[in-house]
Structure 1
């Protein structure tokens, strides 16, 4: 695909909004699917998303907005999905168009709950899209900093490096640096796992643990991530690269991290339901924790941090007691 492709972004949240902003820096037109017609009408009139990243202004003439998912599947050559993983299946079920020949990139940092698959595998198995046409967009990158045009970094992963390079060019700008990778499975699992470790960091903070423990927790998290991913997809990868360690650190430490915020509330004594109700955005790590725990029952990697977060979120164990035990297992 040498010509500039038509690209559509699917999702109305902060990350979808940030990706549309990045693409608008380079493309004459960007497709944008949002299920809420009122949000679309507002953007057309006011040039910004009413609910997320309201500081990000758009040239509305560049936007092809629609609340009809099939209309934008027909329009685009490249489909970028940035829908929360909990709603992915419901949205994909609306598609009646055959999109098996399209190029699909996932900007979703989680697992599809209904199938227990990372999003790329879900597209492959459920929608017959070949792996060479599936890619992943990962950080380290917070949507809020994209809106402020602060220097940010993206990793674009695809087994077909030409497609990764093509999308990289469409996303890069003076404030967005991009690099490519062929480790699509590792990148996607890393993007999912780092949300679990961010919840752990948040719980620890909420319980009153300081920076010293947080540094040990993050150090152990990257090693645990390496063990987990190696069991699933063994290949040569440097776990210290930005797509793995960098993304983990920004999610574990940043004030913009919704997963850390969610964990912090749990550590302070909120129940899971009350923490979810308090937050306006979804903490992907909540769903990822269950999926990773169940997957690891088969793979048997050593994962004390995932086990601890699972015990708190799903077995309703006392966070203080669980993290006291965890401190004895880390080094």
Structure 2
């Protein structure tokens, strides 16, 4: 049986904190990367992340905090990346320690901007990490609910089933249920698209479209997602699995969803810039929309919801006009 060894969390946001909570309950030791030393000092003083999920307290004897990314890569066997996707490229440019021999798990639900690659693709193509050493964590999983130990279902995707199974054992608990999947790329692209569709749901909410239409929007979103996944990775998959449909529903409907919140602000008349300034956390779907639009220019998949969100966010088309055109295309 594969052993994931000692685990380091790379990232310090809300989802990184939730994963740190899950993992340390099993392993009783994690490394944890914070970019800024002052945040580490605050953490040590308060015994919790000073900026996110502050109700989750940690035993400092079980946590090695560091702003030295190379030290953590060198000292730990498994690295779970949970940084916002726009920051991944610049962070990895600072690495001198080799990544290819580490087991790397990405819990990043976004695309690396400019490269237009999901994170495992980026790690494989740019940093030479082989497929069998790459995994992804997906599924409907708001960090706030993990902090409250509400029942959560996670899927670990990896081409190496034994490694995926080992990772699920490091995550499973009385409130976290886990399973494995070979569909690494599919899970990653689904996690990007669900953020885009959550922005669409938020825009429609801000424009006072009701629940009846939201249900039609979600069903059309799933059809759109399936077309894209089949174009990118045409394998047998069930779109009703929680890692696809479940993640889409929770992101599209939940008040915890930052992407839905961002979209709602746009629907109510905020500019993109003013909405971003008011939100405390990054809405990954904003960046994902542009990247997916560029990717689809080569794939030519029919994606009217993606196109509508792109036109609103980047072409400054009126949300009222764009969503009305979108509604006319639905049946």
TM-score, normalised relative to structure 2: 0.99
| Residue of structure 1 in register with 2:261 after alignment | 261
**1:199 matched residue in structure 2:** 199
CA RMSD of aligned residues (A): 0.9
Distance in 2 (CA, whole Å) between partners of 1:316 and 1:2 is 50
Deviations 1:5-41 (A, max 9, x none): 1110100100100000000110021110011111111
Alignment map for 1:75-114 (pairs within 5 Å): 75-114=75-114
Contact kept, 8 Å, 2:2 with 2:162, in 1: the verdict is: no
1:136-175 alignment, distance < 5 Å: 136-175=136-175
Report SS of the residue matched to 2:26. coil
* Corresponding residue for residue 237 of structure 1: 237
Q: Please give the alpha-carbon distance, in whole angstroms, between the structure 1 residues aligned to 2:17 and 2:28.
A: 17
CA distance in 2, matches of 1:4, 1:91: 23
1:189 aligned residue:
189
Distance 2:204 2:11 in 1: 32
- Contact 2:31–2:65 at 8 Å: present in 1 too? yes
Count of residue pairs the alignment pairs up: 331
Aligned position for 1:316: 316
Corresponding residue for 2:9? 9
> Which residue is 1:49 aligned to?
49
1:3 offset after TM fit, Å?
A: 4.0
Q: For 1:26, what is the secondary structure of its paired residue?
A: helix
Corresponding residue SS for 2:209: coil
Give the distance between the partners of 1:264 and 1:324, measured in 2 at CA. Answer: 16
Mapped partners of 1:266, 1:326: distance in 2: 16
C-alpha deviation, 1:44, in angstroms: 1.5
How far apart are 1:114 and its partner, in Å? 2.4
Q: Which moved more, 1:268-277 or 1:3-12?
A: 3-12
Give 2:176's aligned residue.
176
Q: Is the 8 A contact 1:89 1:114 kept in 2?
A: no
TM-score by length of 1: 0.99
For residues 143-178 of structure 1, what are the alpha-carbon distances to aligned partners after superposition, in whole Å with 9 as ceiling and x for unaligned? 000111111111110000111111110011111111
- Structure 2: unaligned runs, 5 residues or longer: none
| Structure 1 residue ranges (4+ consecutive) displaced by more than 6 angstroms after TM superposition | none
Task: Return the offset for 1:4.
Answer: 5.1
Mapped to 2, the partners of 1:228 and 1:329 lie a distance apart of 18
**Partner secondary structure for residue 25 of structure 1:** helix
- Paired with 1:188 and 1:158, the residues of 2 have a C-alpha distance of 11
Residues 31 and 64 in structure 2, CA contact (< 8 A), matched pair in contact too: yes
Query: Structure 2 CA distance, aligned partners of 1:3 and 1:297?
Result: 41
Q: Distance in 2 between matches of 1:120 and 1:98?
A: 16
Distance 1:4 1:113, change over 3 A: closer
d(CA) in 1 for partners of 2:28, 2:145: 23
- Counterpart position of 1:292: 292
SS at match of 2:94: coil
